[in-house]
């Protein structure tokens, strides 16, 4: 059975590399791993088609989204055998898309200096870049991309109110740890109760399953922010009122805390605990370990207090 000519103009490998941003070596490596079909050979030359070009763009897109080459091969094999790829890519695009309506903006170094008191602070800018509050613009060392103008505006207002820049960045680091824990818990919750039927089967989801899951992501996406907004408003009303009354000397008792509290745990420690007892038991293990330490210290205190009492009795 003969096949027709490649779709579109045929490309030499060097031309294909130039059009897709891949290297010749990478293209050949993808062929060896089965990610890219072999070219059609005409005489002594290999000719590549627009199908090869499209496939290279798909691979690059999936790599940018964090997929490994092994996972990409599985997805592409599913597509080649008729199990669909469009739906899965749509789901990936939905999850990797923006989770906010904010539009990024640009700011110059001089504008930053003016907005933060008029004194240049390269250390503060470096901290902001490290935290992702600012992103350098390639080719322009005096310009930055601001992914969240609202977050930068908060920092400007706090600094104008007298909060040092070091305290602002330190607080943001702590807040980010706690928010990431909230996000991880929300994802665990929705995966367990909503998305497990799409993700945990023996095969990749079909186009229909992936499209339905993508629709659910669009519906559930705002719920996380709405829930956090509502709970933060409740907590701020409760604790801000108590904080003010305490400083005014009314003597109100502190508001009761909920049954659990979120505390930052170093990533290395958390990974070690998860490796020891499994992710599902990590929180319980840390709680029990802390409780055991508290009890051990209480026992040590009792023993030392009793020993001191005996010493006093002997002196009498």
CB 188 within 8 A of CB 194: no
Q: DSSP letter at 48?
A: B
pLDDT greater than 50 at residue 215 = yes
Q: What average pLDDT score do residues 81-106 get?
A: 72
| CA 73 to chain CA centroid, nearest Å | 24
- Cα distance between residue 85 and residue 206, in whole Å: 8
d(CA 90, CA 210): 7
> What is the structure's pLDDT at 178?
86
Q: Using CB atoms within 10 A of its CB, is residue 52 exposed (0-12), middle (13-18) or buried (19+)? A: buried
Gap between the Cα atoms of 146 and 51, Å rounded? 37
Q: What mean pLDDT comes out for the span 117-138? A: 91
The pLDDT assigned to 83 comes to: 52
Residue 40 in this model has a pLDDT that exceeds 80: yes
Determine the pLDDT at residue 25. 92
Position 202 confidence tier, pLDDT thresholds 50, 70, 90: low
pLDDT value at residue 72: 82
Architecture, CATH, for domain 13-82: Orthogonal Bundle (1.10)
CA 242 – CA 202 distance, rounded (Å): 53
Instruction: Report the C-alpha gap between 257 and 35 in whole angstroms.
Output: 54
List strand residue ranges (DSSP E) for 118-190, in order.
Answer: 135-137, 140-146
- Return the number of other C-beta atoms located less than 10 Å from residue 171's C-beta: 13
**What are the two backbone dihedrals, phi and then psi, of residue 139, each rounded to the nearest 5 degrees?**
85, 0
CB 112 within 8 A of CB 159: no
235, 205 contact by CB (below 8 A): no
pLDDT at residue number 78 = 66
With residue 36 as reference, give the H or E element that holds it: none
- Does 206 or 39 have the greater pLDDT score? 39
Average pLDDT over residues 103-119: 93
Picking from 26-30, 111-115, 120-124, 309-313, which range would have the lowest pLDDT averaged per residue? 309-313
Sign (positive or negative) of CA dihedral 11, 13, 14, 17:
positive
Q: What are phi and psi of 14, to 5 degrees?
A: -65, -40
* Segments making up each domain of the chain, as ranges: 13-82, 267-315
Q: Across all residues in the chain, what is the average pLDDT?
A: 80
pLDDT tens digit sequence for 225-254: 888 899 989 988 888 888 888 778 765 666
Split at pLDDT 50, 70, 90, the class of 7 is very low
Higher pLDDT residue, 209 or 165? 165
- Tell me: the pLDDT tens digits for 151-189? 999 999 999 999 999 999 999 998 988 888 888 888 888
pLDDT tier at 3, thresholds 50, 70, 90: very low
Dist CA 13 CA 45 (whole Å): 10
**Phi/psi zone of residue 8: left (φ > 0), alpha (ψ -120 to 50 degrees), beta?**
left
For the cut 90, the answer to whether the pLDDT of residue 127 exceeds it is yes
Share of the chain above pLDDT 70, in %: 81
pLDDT at 306: 58
Task: Assess whether pLDDT exceeds 60 at residue 6.
Answer: no
Measured torsion, CA atoms of residues 296, 302, 306, 309, in degrees rounded to the nearest 10: 130
What is the β-pairing status of strands 140-146 and 45-47?
A: unpaired
pTM above 0.85, yes or no: no
């Amino acid at each position: 059975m003969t096949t027709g000519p490649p779709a579109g103009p045929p490309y030499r490998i060097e031309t294909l590399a130039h059009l897709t941003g891949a290297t010749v070596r990478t293209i050949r490596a993808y062929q060896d791993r089965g990610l890219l079909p072999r070219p059609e050979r005409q005489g002594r030359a290999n000719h590549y088609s627009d199908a090869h070009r499209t496939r290279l763009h798909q691979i690059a897109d999936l790599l940018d989204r964090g997929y490994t080459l092994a996972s990409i091969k599985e997805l592409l094999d599913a597509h080649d055998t008729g199990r669909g790829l469009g739906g899965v890519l749509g789901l990936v695009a939905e999850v990797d898309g923006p989770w906010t309506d904010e539009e990024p903006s640009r700011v110059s170094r001089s504008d930053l200096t003016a907005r933060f008191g008029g004194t240049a602070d390269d250390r503060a800018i470096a901290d902001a870049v490290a935290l992702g509050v600012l992103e350098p613009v390639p080719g322009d060392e005096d310009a930055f991309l601001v992914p969240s103008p609202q977050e930068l505006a908060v920092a400007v207002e706090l600094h104008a109110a007298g909060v040092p820049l070091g305290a602002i960045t330190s607080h943001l680091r702590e807040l980010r740890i706690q928010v990431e824990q909230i996000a991880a818990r929300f994802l665990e919750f929705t995966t367990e109760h909503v998305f497990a039927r799409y993700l945990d089967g023996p095969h990749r989801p079909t186009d229909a399953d992936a499209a339905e899951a993508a629709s659910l992501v669009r519906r559930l996406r705002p719920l996380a922010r709405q829930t956090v907004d509502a709970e933060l408003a409740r907590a701020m009303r409760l604790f801000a009122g108590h904080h003010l009354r305490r400083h005014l000397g009314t003597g109100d008792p502190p508001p009761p805390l909920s049954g659990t509290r979120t505390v930052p745990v170093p990533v290395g420690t958390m990974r070690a605990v998860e490796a020891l007892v499994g992710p599902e038991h990590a929180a319980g293990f840390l709680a029990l370990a802390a409780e055991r330490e508290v009890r051990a210290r209480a026992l040590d205190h009792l023993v030392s207090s009793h020993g001191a009492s005996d010493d006093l009795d002997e002196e009498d």
